[in-house]
Structure 1
């Protein structure tokens, strides 16, 4: 019986690669706002009603729809375009999207092992081009249905995005003696001296992600930056955010031009990350009440 299943899967794959192929997958993003607030220790000064309002706002900000268009070797992934609601600050939304590691059109080419993504950050356009990250997938035999598709489970430990604030948390509690020493050190710092943006928080360096991939669609693509499994990834869960496929269309008559973006200043991922972190440090200084700080410097 197992041999028959393998033969059928092989025949599906042969037929799949014998034709000119393209597909579209729609993903819904959901983020646990409670988990984010837990990472930052909550706030004892806000009322339960205020916390509920904050969580509702964060929920709206994080719940998005993304479109993945793909062929045998490449894909483009971007947020579904929606008109801003009346009174909504679209510019601020784009900036927050960049701070969450998103925004722009992401192109992945698994044949050339490269990706490119165009992003706007503080009204400056960037084109990030770099090598695709390598994931050490651990594939298991556990399965589940996503829509009409049978998917298999895989896990991997990944490095987190240093420009996405969801990957940060408050530093661990200190004893009273260390707190007192730290406060004295802060009080002694000259008001015009540059402070460290990351002094109160720390990055969660690694996360274990769980992916569910579908061998019936034998391409090694997936949402966001994920790829490298023997089937289209239909769900990814990193413990805070879930990307879940809600719709798949294969070989539609309407073809999408899948090509790398070209607009923006060319930078590597590390160069872009450094630019974002530097700008965030400048904003911390500007709005932290420090004297002698002028406007934020340019890029």
Structure 2
């Protein structure tokens, strides 16, 4: 009965947001939760790998990201794109937050697409798998909004499933990166090594929000992975 009621609430929520005009801009701050203590627990092959990871942790600074949404679509990207070259150390937080990638969600077709333009020197629109959620009754206040806990059960991570905290008070079925499909806006998201925390929410801004999907080659994740393996054979073999 509990699952039936939750499913009914979600269906009614989805129908309602498709029948109203609603938009917003959300800024999240992304923080690294992977610490030096976690590093000690890892079984790395040698001291060189350990020292490299330690330097990565030291140079991983907090990152801000932006989610723009309308009633049926959203666009997500990292706000400040860092210049990563031989002299710039890897910022793990920036990379996990999305790096140069963009994520576009379309509720009408129930899909999220990741746009990638750097690895293969061509822009690809990579369709992401639809997520499965376990809705719970656990709650907490975030920025004055009552939020409910949801667990991403479709994640392949066996040790820690991503956890989202969403607010039904904000009728937008969106969140950071490829996370969507909940009966409310995701205000906090916990992944394996980072946490996304809402920093600012602007609902129905005066300036009209537009979600524009730029051109790119549409491709499945499986097909894209094959192209990567072919282009970076040595990396995958190692």
**TM-score (ref. length: structure 2):** 0.75
CA RMSD, Structure 1 to Structure 2 (Å) = 3.7
Correspondence list, 1:153-168, <5 A: 153-160=149-156
1:1-299 map, 5 Å: 20-34=21-35, 37=39, 40-42=42-44, 45=47, 52-57=54-59, 59-60=60-61, 63-82=62-81, 84=83, 89=88, 97=95, 102-122=99-119, 124-130=121-127, 132-135=129-132, 137-160=133-156, 204=157, 207-262=160-215, 264-283=216-235
Aligned length: 222
What's 1:179 paired with? none
Contact in 1 for aligned 2:113/2:178 (Cα 8 Å): no
Structure 2 alignment gaps of length 5 or more: 1-13
Q: Secondary structure at the match of 1:272?
A: helix
Question: Would the aligned equivalents of 1:158 and 1:206 in 2 still touch at CA under 8 Å?
Answer: no
Distance in 2, Cα, partners of 1:102 & 1:39: 27
Please give the alpha-carbon distance, in whole angstroms, between the structure 2 residues aligned to 1:122 and 1:65: 22
Per the alignment, do residues 50 and 234 of structure 1 end up closer, same or farther by CA in structure 2, a change over 3 Å counting? same
> Would the alpha carbon gap of residues 211 and 55 (structure 1) be closer, same or farther in structure 2, given more than 3 Å must change?
same
Unmatched 5+ stretches in structure 1: 1-12, 161-203, 289-299
Structure 2 CA distance for partners of 1:106 and 1:214, relative to 1, 3 Å: same
TM-score, structure 1 as length reference? 0.61
Q: Is the Cα–Cα contact under 8 Å of residues 149 and 164 in structure 2 kept in the other structure?
A: yes
Per-residue CA distance 1:228-287 (angstroms, 9 max, x = gap):
11100111112322111111000111123213231x3332111112223444432366xx
Q: Which residue does the alignment assign to 1:187?
A: none
- Which structure has the larger Rg? 1
| Counterparts in 2 of 1:101 and 1:257: CA distance versus 1, 3 Å | closer
> Which stretch of structure 1 is more off in the superposition, 232-241 or 118-127?
118-127
Return the structure number with greater helix share. 1
